Structure 1
Amino acid sequence: MTSPGPLRPASRYGSAQHPEKRGLGLGSKAIVLVFAAMFVVLVFYSVQYFQSREKVNASLSYVTHDITSDSSIRVWVDVTRNHLDQDAYCIVQAFDYSKAEVGRREFPVPAGGEEAMRVAVDIPTSARAVAGGAYGCSGAVPAYLDMDNPQYAESS
């Protein structure tokens, strides 16, 4: 019979006789816990994000603009709504040559009407505007936008 060779010291290489007794070390457990916590946080914020996206019941796309004076610009935008039975409001912007915002206007979109509509919005500006833009829409209409104002009924 041949001998199995020199024995390896268990203190240096670990015991090969009882591999089932080896487990994750404290450092490995901490890493697993950190990744698990990060995964839970990621899932939580993803759910929050998609729930907030569903609350937006209107979307806005820029069409064109017309510079009416040195202190105002008219911007045309297309408003498309998911839920016609809910109020919404949208924001349009005016920009100067350096792409700085020189004006902004919020306008309400009352419930009812058509799913898609084109709206012209006059924006007062603090400097000469050269371009307009569409910022976005929300379903949470601020209290200062009076939906019963006839001015808004005409523009939508």
Structure 2
Amino acid sequence: MSTPDSRRTTRPRAQYEAPQRRGVTGPIVAIGAIIFLIAAGVVVYQYYQKVTSITVSATTANFVRVDDRTLNVEVDVNRDDVDVASYCIVTAMNYDKAEIGRREFVIEPGGNKVQRFKVDIPTRDLPVAAKVYGCATEMPSYLKP
């Protein structure tokens, strides 16, 4: 008499199971994640360097329309090092918030850490607002004495 176990024929397992594949998806994802983290770290570091290196900044204190083509702007400039010359750019805008005039002005070495400057901006349209575009200590060649 045969038992159910004795009727079985032994066949290699390979016929019944799918072959195991060694995929490269896992290592590729890991390498991609590492590259992404390194790139993100570089971007964060550069942003931090840029933000902490700002040594001069400005804010618009007031502005008055002199006439239809001129805007007078008062700008408060804050400098970390008053011994370094710097410059700022202010812009005039129309009702559509489009830039219609721009003026650069130089802050000579010396003076207080916070100073107020009055700047007239010639415009090509009716000025209604002003804003500070930015400031820097690296003077462009056309502003150097």
Q: What TM-score do you get using the length of structure 1 for normalisation?
A: 0.75
- Checking the alignment, whether the CA contact within 8 Å between 1:72 and 1:124 is kept in structure 2 is yes
Alignment map for 1:33-72 (pairs within 5 Å): 33-72=31-70
Structure 2: distance between partners of 1:116 and 1:126 = 31
- The match for 1:105 is 103
Rg: which structure is higher? 2
3-state secondary structure, aligned to 2:25: helix
1:95-134, aligned counterparts within 5 Å? 95-134=93-132
Distance 2:44 2:131 in 1: 28
Shift of 1:92: 0.6
The CA deviation at 1:111 is 2.1
Match of 2:141, SS?
A: coil
Residue identity opposite 1:131 in structure 2:
A
Distance 1:53 1:87, change over 3 A: farther
2:143 corresponds to which of 138, 142, 145: 145
Unaligned 5+ runs, structure 1: 1-8, 15-23, 149-156
Please identify runs of 4+ aligned residues in structure 1 that moved more than 6 A. none
Report the alpha carbon displacement of residue 56 of structure 1 after superposing the two structures with TM: 2.4
Deviation at residue 61 of structure 1 after TM alignment:
0.7
Matched, 1:83 2:81: yes
Residue 45 of structure 1 and its aligned partner are, at CA, apart by 2.1
How far has the Cα of 1:13 moved from its partner?
9.6
C-alpha displacement at 1:97, in angstroms? 1.1
Q: What is the identity, as a one-letter code, of the residue corresponding to 2:24? A: L
* Structure 2 gap segments, 5+ residues each: 1-12
Percentage of matched positions with identical amino acids: 33
Alpha-carbon contact 1:55-1:138 (below 8 Å) kept: no
TM-align CA RMSD? 2.1
Q: How many residues align?
A: 131
SS at match of 1:144: helix
TM superposition shift of 1:141: 1.2
Q: CA deviation at 1:50?
A: 2.2
Q: What is the CA distance between 1:40 and its match in structure 2?
A: 1.0
Could you tell me the TM-score, scaled by structure 2's length?
0.80
Q: Shift in Å at residue 66 of structure 1?
A: 0.8
Measure the CA separation in 2 of the matches of 1:127 and 1:68: 13
